[in-house]
Amino acid sequence: MTRTTAPITALTRPARLAAGARVAVVAPSGPIPEERLEAGLDILRGWDLDPVVATHVLDRHAEFGYLAGTDADRAADFQAAWCDPDVAAVLCARGGYGAQRMIDLLDWDAIRAAGPKVFLGFSDITALHEAFATRVGLATLHGPMVAVADFLKSARAQEHLRATLFEPESVRTIASDEAVPLVPGKARGVTLGGSTSLLAAEVGTPHARTSARGGLLLIEDIGEEAYRLDRILTQLLRTGWLDGVTGVALGSWVDCGPYDGLRAVFADRLGGLGVPVVEHFGFGHAEGALTIPFGLCAELDADAGTLTLDEPALL
């Protein structure tokens, strides 16, 4: 069966941050260790930002301890933060699991009406990246979160995020020294992606794209063994979601098993797409993770290990 889907297009860019900007910290998914939250807030204050913590960020669900409070409270926190006219950015404290449980409780018409602002997160937050793309038409940032250990201990991750937020023209070319081509070549498209398991889990939901056609796909994951990643990528292939992807960048694969086995899966499942594929691109769950803008036109050079944005991530 031939599937015909219009290619994805570039999204609206929010404004860059300035000294004194108020930023809201939310927990849409898993619970937050208080000491890590405080350490992350100190970093934000060191950047001359004014962080405000949502009411339920430190909550833990009474029955499901893997959630940062109830779905309704997490959604209310997110809604209030986004719709506050004094807030210039909404930053996730961590991922984990839970964004999918609260996403349908959000008023997306109100979120869209509140206007564009910076949104940052990764991992389970992939579900929200997809929703912002489909429901709001907003470019977002896939990057290290406020209360995540890899961010707190990595000067590289902190500096790349800070530059993206305040001086985005300085990081229009994103490069990884460790990157190597799995399939050589150059490709152009609109950046999208995140956690492979979340992208697969989102297929068929009201907030997900029906296809990544025309997209430069940047994917990573954690705790998924080779056979699980095989299953996830096979699901994306069988649904046609990967039809028309122009290039692929592979980030970190922490706790996913020996990389030789993963590499064989990637070569088998992605090599047949006939597009450039680059490995070890330096984003995701690893220490020193780069911040990757989603929703922007860019060129991927698998041989050079670079992603060059047509425009800065933020206005």
So which residues are the catalytic ones?
123, 220, 285
Beta-strand pair 306-309/297-301: antiparallel
Return d(Cα 74, Cα 54) in angstroms, integer.
Answer: 9
Closest CA to 298 of 200, 174, 211: 174
Instruction: Output the DSSP codes for 195-232.
Output: EHHHHHHHTTSTTS-S--TTEEEEEEEES--HHHHHHH
Alpha-carbon distance of 98 to 187, in angstroms, equals: 34
Tell me the one-letter amino acid at 269. R
What is the C-alpha separation between 249 and 219, in angstroms, rounded? 6
Q: Can you tell me the distance from the alpha carbon of 179 to that of 250, in angstroms, rounded to the nearest whole number?
A: 9
Give the separation between CA 245 and CA 198, rounded to whole angstroms. 18
C-beta atoms surrounding 34 within 10 Å: 11
Query: How far is Cα 291 from Cα 282, in angstroms, rounded to an integer?
Result: 9
- Is the distance from CB of 43 to CB of 250 less than 8 angstroms? no
Cα 114-116-119 angle, rounded to 5 deg: 110
